[in-house]
Chains A and B, each alone.
Chain A
Amino acid sequence: MGDSLSISIPSKPEYVSVVRLTTSAIASRMGFNVEEIEDIKVAVAEACTNAIIHSNCKQDDNFNIHFGMDEKKIVIQVQDQGNGFYCEAVEEPDLTSPKEGGLGIFIIKSLMDEVVLESDIGKGTTIKMTKYLGDDI
């Protein structure tokens, strides 16, 4: 069994940088290299940004970030209690007509080894992402 750590942050843009610093510190402590730390940091920040933008949380609501760690991997879950969205509706970016939004989930999937999106309309969204230590799988 590994260690775990949870933080609860306000659904406000100014707190995403706090999560970035926390994530970097955890990934660094686990022994990820500089590029992997950056990947994990970016992915977690995108998940938080997604929670703040798409969850329609009232600003006084908090959402949760859970870090699970063992000697092989880090598993991070970003969980909000917002409106949820239809995961099937998440599209890959179309470069012939680029849009201002919709890049976040695509970036997370590109940077992490495993990503699971669970969204219940009316109940909220959880983005679970895993990065393995050592050689790419």
Chain B
Amino acid sequence: MSLKMNTQYLAEKNMWYVEVVGEIDIYTANRLKETLINLLNEQNTDIRINCEELDYIDSTGLGVLIGALKRLKQDNKNIIIANPKPNISKLLNITGLNKIFIIEG
């Protein structure tokens, strides 16, 4: 398994839309990190991550999201995690990260 990402900027909402498909783990987390850093260098604004087709995320992947959120919080921006699968919701709940990210769906 691998990780596929699609990114798109919606000007009317001033928001990045990122779709993640597959698995985010120690092997793929660096690619997610590079992608998010590139987006934020271009436009430091809210990111909506669609997790509908994300099967797996581990602590390194969550660490990348925390790193990006820290940077966004300096400008009062957020990360929205949309449509996580039950296994991913469970991980967000036990780590308490459901309280620092905005979870939708």
Contacts and interface: CB of A to CB of B under 8 A. Distances in A.
Contacts, number: 63
A2 interface: no
Contacts of A16: 25-27
Interface hub of A17, A93, A100, A110 (most chain B Cβ within 10 A): A100
Contacts of B96: 93, 95
Contacts of A106: 95
Interface in A25-45: 35, 38, 42, 45
B13 interface: no
Interface stretch (B4-12, B34-42, B44-52, B62-70): B62-70
Interface of A: 13-14, 16-17, 20, 35, 38, 42, 45-46, 49, 52-53, 93, 95, 98-101, 103-104, 106-107, 110-111
Interface of B: 1, 23, 25-27, 56, 58-60, 62-64, 66-67, 69-70, 87, 90-91, 94-97, 99-100
Q: Which 10 A-B residue pairings sit nearest by Cβ, starting from the closest?
A: A100-B63, A13-B27, A103-B59, A104-B59, A13-B26, A110-B94, A49-B26, A100-B67, A95-B96, A98-B66
Given A13-B27, A93-B96, A106-B95, 9 more contacts: A13-B26, A14-B27, A17-B25, A17-B27, A38-B90, A95-B97, A103-B59, A103-B62, A107-B59
